Amino acid sequence: MTDKFLTEFSFTPAQVRKNLQNALRDLAIAEKDEILDVKFAYAYTALLKAGIALLSSRNKKVRSVPGHHVKIIEYLAGALQDTAIEDLGNAMRQKRNIDLYAGGTDITAKECAEYLEFVVSVVGKVHSIVGGT
């Protein structure tokens, strides 16, 4: 399967584990850091990296093209059969885009805690699927 966003690629189990470890590392940073912007940014990248880990476990490689974050989030939601992933993941993506491209945004402690809890759950689900790879 090759399309604009994904291509077939034979990942080794070590590569899949490395992708998952990258997600877990970013999640650990998000959980430990006290700066809300840092917490949010690392939670968002942990979510994407968890999606990349899940995709790699299924021999799919993400292409770095405009819109690929949306596709990673969509894939996670479909693979984990959880529409909330698409809703919250895209809310995080939009907030990140506003911060990057539209003059910044403020993230509240409450929002950050909710997003982090959500990402912990998603990464945990991905870990349970690909952790033994």
* pLDDT tens profile 12-28: 999 999 999 999 999 99
* pLDDT tens profile 29-62: 999 999 998 999 999 999 999 999 999 999 999 8
User: What does the H/E/C string look like for 7-36?
Assistant: EECCCCHHHHHHHHHHHHHHHHHHHHCCCH
Structural contact between residues 60 and 1, judged by C-beta atoms closer than 8 angstroms? yes
Structural contact between residues 90 and 69, judged by C-beta atoms closer than 8 angstroms? no
Q: How many CA atoms lie within 13 A of 89 on its CB side?
A: 28
Domains of the chain: 12-130 (1.20.120)
